[in-house]
Amino acid sequence: MRLGVVGAGAMVAEFLERGAPLVPGLEVVGVLARPRSLDRARELAARTGVPLVTDSLDELCAAGIDTLYVAVPNAAHVAYAREGLERGLHVVVEKPMTSTVDEALDLRRLAEQRGRFLFEAVTTIHLAALAQVRAWLPRIGDVKLVQSQYSQYSRRYDAFRAGEVPPAFDPEQSGGALMDLGLYNLHFVLGLFGEPEQATYTANVERGIDTSGVLVLRYPGFVATCTQAKDSAGPQGGLIQGTAGRITTSTSPNLVGAVTLELADGTVETVDDGLAGDRLATEFRAFVRAVEEDDRAAASAWLDSSVAVSRVQTAARLAAGIRFPADG
């Protein structure tokens, strides 16, 4: 995979420094940055050995890339992803892939028309720990309650409270707790149980954006709650309670971490996939393998998961009165 990266922020720095070097078959050809971010992009490229920095998508494509990685603020994802697909490139889009489910469906149709792969860069569904939880589910009997929690105080929240509008808290940029941390909660729950029958989001809304909230998902026979917060610190991890036992995860749903099975008969089992510190490389290894092996079934299943999460996010967000420009 010959990759062109769009963006020069913290996510790109983490990927170039700690993710890309661990992915066999991945070559980062260049970085596309806005003119005001070129100096930062050049410094990052020099530090990580990326040969090209440009503010021109034409120049980036001329360097011979076959895949575009879009890692810019949320509201700009769709335009770059669409441009990449229309140019015949595979596209990896940072989470959330789109602001609305209609945008997600439009991108999926375009990818299918062009015969290209479209991936959302969400770590949860590529971790072996999630597969282990799924394998244990039959052993805990009838599922009754599910919790997924991801709360961390955002350093940008102080600026927001002071009157600034950083992208993470800007409805014009498709920000908010549900779109950021809540996405991982949803991929954890939907990755195990599929789409719910009903979703209700009760949020703390400040200046039109959710800084924290609780999403309640109703399934046949059980209820799942997703708690996400960028305005306060809190527990991180998952809990699945069943009539014969429970399953717990040790950390936030973007990492999952060690998972533990505790049964009513006293059985206790713990498995750690060791991937919590390797999350970016894990997802990109999956993307490279899918492209190299032309594994369209796996890619389609991952994309279905992203669309399902976007569908729940969109409906819950709108019902809570949180609107983005992409909603029309």
Q: Tell me, letter by letter, the H, E, C secondary structure of 125-172.
A: HHCHHHHHHHHHHHHHCCEEEEEEEEECCCHHHHHHHCCCCCHHHCHH
- Whole-angstrom Cα distance, residue 80 to residue 57? 9
Compute, in degrees rounded to 10, the torsion defined by CA atoms 96, 291, 303, 253: -60
DSSP assignment letter at 326: G
Note down pLDDT in tens along the chain; length 328 residues.
Answer: 999 999 999 999 999 999 999 999 999 999 999 999 999 999 999 999 999 999 999 999 999 999 999 999 999 999 999 999 999 999 999 999 999 999 999 999 999 999 999 999 999 999 999 999 999 999 999 999 999 999 999 999 999 999 999 999 999 999 999 999 999 999 999 999 999 999 999 999 999 999 999 999 999 999 999 999 999 999 999 999 999 999 999 999 999 999 999 999 999 999 998 877 788 999 999 999 999 999 999 999 999 999 999 999 999 999 999 999 999 8
pLDDT of residue 278: 86
Cβ atoms of 27 and 3 within 8 Å: the answer is yes
pLDDT of residue 99: 98
Query: CB 244: neighbour CB atoms within 10 A?
Result: 13
- Whole-angstrom Cα distance, residue 49 to residue 281? 17
Cβ atoms of 237 and 255 within 8 Å: the answer is no
- Whole-angstrom Cα distance, residue 78 to residue 97? 8
pTM for this prediction: 0.96
Of 223, 197, 199, the residue nearest 213 (C-alpha): 199
